[in-house]
Amino acid sequence: MKRICVEYVVPGMKLAKSVKGLDGSELFSKDTVLTEKEKEVLIDAGIDYVYIEGSSEAEEKRLMEILAQEYVFKFFMYVNPDSKVFSELYKIVVALVINSLNKGWEPPCEEELRAKNVERMKDLFFKDMGSPQDIIKHELSLASFPDVYFKLKQVLKSPTSSAKEIADTVSADVALSTKLLKLVNSPLFALTQKVDSIERAVSLVGEEELSTLALGITAIRYFKDIPPELINMDVFWRHSLSCAVFAKLIASQLQGINQEMMFTAGLLHDVGKLILFKNMPYSSVEALIFARENMVPVVEAEECVLGFTHTTISNLIMKNWDFPPSLIDIVGHHHEPYDATNKKEAIVLQLADNMANAVAIASGGTFVIPGMEDEVFYELGLEIEKLKPIVLKHIKVLQDLVAAIL
Amino acid sequence: MGTMSLGKLGLRKKIPNLSREEFKELTDFVYEKTGIAIPERRKYLVENKLGKRVLELKMNSFSDYIKYLKFSPQKESEFKKLCELITINETSFFRDIKQLTMFKNTILPEILEKKKQQGKKTIRIWSAGCSSGEEPYTLSMILHEALKVSIIGWDIKITANDISPSVLFRAKKGLYNDHSLRTTPDNMKSKYFIKEATGYRVHPKVQKLVSFQLINLNDDLAVKRIPPSDIIFCRNVIIYFDDEMKKKVLNHFYNNLMDHGYLFLGYSESIHRLTKLFKPVFKPGGIVYQKN
Ligand SMILES: C[S@@+](CC[C@H](N)C(=O)[O-])C[C@H]1O[C@@H](n2cnc3c(N)ncnc32)[C@H](O)[C@@H]1O
Ligand SMILES: [Fe+2]
Ligand SMILES: [Fe+2]
C-alpha cells in the first residue's frame, strides 16, 4: 500500500482504502480500480491523496516505475529530448526516485511543488520603476560583507604574506576555521592525512585556494539573515552546496581547472536570488510561481516577471565586494557560459547546477531543469559515462558536508 | 525490466521530432490567432508538451498536426484544444489582496459616488482573461462587501471572458478546491462559499452578477461587442503577449472604457513604455491606470 497524490495516479492502480469527499461522504470504495475517468473525478473533487496498491507485487512495482518516469519527466520538459547528456541524467534520476519510493518517500503533489503566494511584502520598487543598481545600492546600505574576508584579501595582496599570516587571520574567526577544517577533511578533498590546524590546511590546499574556500563559507554567513518565511534557506544552501560539490567533482575530472574556485563558485552561484528575495520579495515569489506554472527555469521567469535576472544581481554585488574577477565571471555566466571569459569553468558550473537540480528531484526538489546544449557539454571533453559515478560520489559526500558547513 | 527499457527510451519517449521550421509555423499560427508569443528558447517545451497531443491523434509528425490545425474539418475544435494546452491558467480567489484592497477602498468608492451623483446606479466591470472564474467572482464578492444590502438598488454586470473553453466550463460550474481558495481570507470563505462533498461552491448571489463568454482578445469584432466598462481587470494575461499585441489589447481597453475609467493590470505588468493612452495613478497597494 502506498499513499500518492491524485495527479500521479496511473490507470490500473487499485484503491487500498475508500475515498471520502470534503463533507465526509464516500466517493469511491476500497478496491476500485482507477482509470482516467475516476482520476478526473478525484481531481475535480479536490482530493489530495489516495492510498493505492497494485493487484500483485510485480504489478505494483511496474506501476511505481511508470510513476517515477512520469514524475521525473515533468522536470525535464524544458530540455532537448534528444540530448544524450540529459537522457543519461534522466535515467539516473528515475533510478534515484524509484529508490526513494521504495524507501517510503512520497513525491510531493503539484500543489506542494508550487511556490505559495505570500501576503504582499513590499518590493523596493514596482516593475520598470527601478533597476538592479538600485537594489545593490539598497543592499549595500543595509549590511557590509564580513570583515574577515577583507582582512584576508589584505594579507594576500601584500608581497610578503606568509602561510602563517593567512592562517592567523583565518584562525581568528573560530566559526570559520572550524567549518574550513571540516570541509578540507571531508572525503571530497581526499587528503591523505587528517588536517587539524588551519596552518596545515594552508600548506596542503594552498594559500589562494584556502582563501577562496574561506570566502565561500563567509558568504553563507552573510546571507543567513534573509526572512525565513519567504525562502527556505536550508533548501537554498543545500542546492548551493550540492552545486559546489558537483562543480568540484566535475573539475577534478578535467585538466587545468581550479577545483577550490569551482567549489566556491558553486556555493555562491545563486546569491543574486537571495538579494532579490530580500529586496523584491513579492516579485521573487511571483517569479517562482511563474516558473512552475510555465514549466520554465527560474532565470527565465525572473526575466519575464522582473525584467532582469539573479545573475545580473550577483555580478553587481560581487563587483562591489571586490571579489576575484574570475569568480565573478564564472558565477555571472552560469546560465550563459558562452559569453564568459572563463568559458570552461562557466560550463562546469552550468552542468553542476543542472545536476544539482536533477538529483534534488528524488528528495522533493521543485525546480525545472534549466538544460544546456550537448555541444556545450562536449567542449569539456567529459565522457557522459562519467556522470553516473560523479552522482554516486556526490551522494556519498553531500550529507556530511551539509552537517559540517551549513 | 522497467529500468532496462528506460535505457532505450531516454527522454524522447515516442513523441515526434519538432523541426525549426515546424516550430516557427506552429508558433506563428498561435501568435496570429491568440497574440501569445512563444519565444524560441521554449522550443523543447513546446515539443514535449504538444508531442503528447500529436501522439494522441495518432499522427506521425508535427507537420501533420499543423495541417490538421489549419485545414481539417476539425480545425475549430482542435484550436480550442490547443488553447487549453498552451495557456497558463494559474489563478486564485483574492489574488494580490493589496491591490484588491486598494480597489475596494479607493477606486470603487470614487466610482460609486460619481454614479450616485449622476443618478445612474449601474456598474460594468470586465474581467479579461478570467481563467476559471476566481477573479470575476472575487470582484463580485468585493462589490457585495462594499454595498452590503444596498446592492439590490444597483444594476451590476461583470463580464468575464477567456480563450480556453475548459477553464470557462469550470468557471460556470462555480465549484472550487482548496487550492483556488489558498489566498482567500477566512471570513470571505465562510460568507461567500458553500461547502460540498466535492469542493466549495460560490454563493448564487455572487454568481448572479457574473457572466462568462468564450472570447479571444485578439478577435477585434468580438471584443468590440463587450459592453462599455467602468473598470477593467486584465491581470497576468498580457505578460504572455508581445509588445504589438499588448498595444492592440490596450487600445481595445481604451475604447471600451468609459471616460476616466480604470484599468487594473497584474503585478508584474507595466505599460508605461508602451502607451500614453492611460495615466498611471499611484495608490498605496499598487498602480492603477486611468483612461486619459
Ligand atoms: C494566468 S491566467 C490569469 C487569470 C486571472 N486574471 C488572474 O490574474 O488570476 C491568464 C488567462 O489568460 C487567458 N488568455 C490568454 N490569451 C488570451 C487571449 N488571447 N484571449 C483571451 N484570454 C486569453 C488564458 O487562457 C488564461 O486563462
Ligand atoms: Fe542560477
Ligand atoms: Fe542554481
**Ligand closest to CA A311:** 2
Q: How far apart are CA A250 and CA A390, in angstroms?
A: 7
Q: Is B167 in the pocket of ligand 1 (CB under 6 A)?
A: yes
Q: How far apart are CA B89 and CA B110, in angstroms?
A: 31
Residues B72 and B142 in one domain: no
| pLDDT band at residue A251 using 50, 70 and 90 as cut-offs | very high
B14 exposed, middle or buried (CB, 10 Å; 0-12, 13-18, 19+)?
exposed
Residues B113 and B241 in one domain: yes
Regarding predicted confidence, which is higher, B127 or A112?
A: B127
Q: How far apart are CA B275 and CA B278, in angstroms?
A: 7
Q: Full-prediction pTM beyond 0.95?
A: no
| pLDDT band at residue A232 using 50, 70 and 90 as cut-offs | confident
Q: How many CA atoms lie within 13 A of B48 on its CB side?
A: 21
CB proximity under 8 Å: B 114-133 to A: none
Q: How many CA atoms lie within 13 A of B79 on its CB side?
A: 17
Q: How far is the CA of A42 from the centre of ligand 1 (A)?
A: 25
pLDDT of residue B8: 45
Residue of B83, B162, B221, B265 to mutate, ligand 1, most atoms within 8 A of C-beta: B162
Q: A56-70, A236-250, B206-220: which range is least confident on average?
A: A56-70
Q: Name the closest-CA residue to atom 3, ligand 1.
A: B236
CB proximity under 8 Å: B 146-165 to A: none
Q: How far apart are CA A60 and CA A49, in angstroms?
A: 17
Which tens digits make up the pLDDT trace of B165-185? 999 999 999 999 888 998 899
| Cell of residue A28, nine digits | 469511491
Q: What is each CA distance from A142 to A145, A218, A257, A278, B93, in whole angstroms?
A: 10, 17, 35, 11, 36
Nearest CA in chain A to B199: A45
Nearest CA in chain B to A290: B90
Which tens digits make up the pLDDT trace of B75-127? 999 999 999 999 999 999 999 999 999 999 999 999 999 999 999 999 999 99
Which tens digits make up the pLDDT trace of A364-383? 888 899 999 999 999 999 99
Residues B105 and B203 in one domain: yes
Q: Over range A58-66, report the average pLDDT.
A: 88
Q: What is each CA distance from A29 to A15, A42, A51, A250, in whole angstroms?
A: 8, 13, 11, 52
Comparing CB atoms, the residue among B13, B88, B183 nearest residue A117 is B183
Instruction: List, in order of start, the domains of chain A with CATH numbers.
Output: 1-53 (3.90.105.10), 132-405 (1.10.3210.10)
B127, part of any domain: yes
In this structure, which long-range contacts are made by residues B246-252, counting pairs with CB atoms below 8 Å and at least 24 apart in sequence? B246/B271, B246/B274, B247/B274, B247/B275, B248/B35, B248/B218, B249/B35, B249/B128, B249/B217, B250/B274, B250/B275, B250/B277, B250/B278, B251/B275, B251/B277, B252/B217, B252/B220, B252/B223, B252/B224
B91, part of any domain: no
B204, part of any domain: yes
Chain B partners within 8 Å of A94 (Cβ): 3, 6
Q: How far apart are CA A251 and CA A261, in angstroms?
A: 10
A397 exposed, middle or buried (CB, 10 Å; 0-12, 13-18, 19+)?
middle
Q: How far is the CA of A60 from the centre of ligand 2 (A)?
A: 38
Comparing CB atoms, the residue among A81, A82, A289 nearest residue B90 is A289
Q: How far apart are CA A213 and CA A48, in angstroms?
A: 44
Paired strand residues for B210:
B158
Report yes or no: B242 at the A interface, CB cutoff 8 Å.
Answer: no
Residues B120 and B78 in one domain: no
Is residue A118 scored above 70 in pLDDT?
no
Interchain CB contacts (distance < 8 Å): A and B: 121
Q: How far is the CA of B112 from the centre of ligand 3 (A)?
A: 50
Q: Burial letters for A339-350: b for 16+ Cβ neighbours within 10 Å, e otherwise?
A: ebebbbbbbbbb
**Ligand closest to CA A368:** 3
Residues B148 and B266 in one domain: yes
pLDDT of residue B1: 31
Q: Which of B32, B67, B86 is the last residue of a domain?
A: B86
Q: Give, in degrees to the nearest 5, the angle at Cα A52 between A50 and A58.
A: 155
Q: How far apart are CA A76 and CA A359, in angstroms?
A: 12
Which tens digits make up the pLDDT trace of A160-219? 878 889 999 999 999 999 999 999 999 999 888 899 999 999 999 998 899 999 999 998
Chain B partners within 8 Å of A87 (Cβ): 10-12
H or E, element range at A372 = none
Q: How far apart are CA B192 and CA B19, in angstroms?
A: 50
Comparing CB atoms, the residue among B6, B178, B199 nearest residue A94 is B6
Q: How far is the CA of B44 from the centre of ligand 3 (A)?
A: 20
Q: Over range B4-24, report the average pLDDT.
A: 76
Regarding predicted confidence, which is higher, A193 or A121?
A: A193
CATH of the domain at B46: 1.10.155.10
Paired strand residues for B234:
B265
Is residue B45 scored above 90 in pLDDT?
yes
B15, part of any domain: no
Give the strands of the sheet with B193-196, arranged side by side. B175-176, B199-202, B193-196
What's the structural domain count of chain B? 2
Instruction: State whether the Cα torsion A250-A251-A252-A253 is positive or negative.
Output: positive
Q: How far is the CA of A262 from the centre of ligand 2 (A)?
A: 15
* Domain that includes residue B241, residue range: 97-291
Residues B44 and B65 in one domain: yes
pLDDT of residue B3: 37
Q: Which of B55, B86, B117 is the last residue of a domain?
A: B86
B11, part of any domain: no
Q: Which of B61, B86, B111 is the last residue of a domain?
A: B86
Residues B251 and B150 in one domain: yes
Paired strand residues for B233:
B127, B264
pLDDT of residue A22: 72
Q: How far apart are CA A268 and CA A188, in angstroms?
A: 18
Is residue A267 scored above 70 in pLDDT?
yes
CATH of the domain at B275: 3.40.50.150
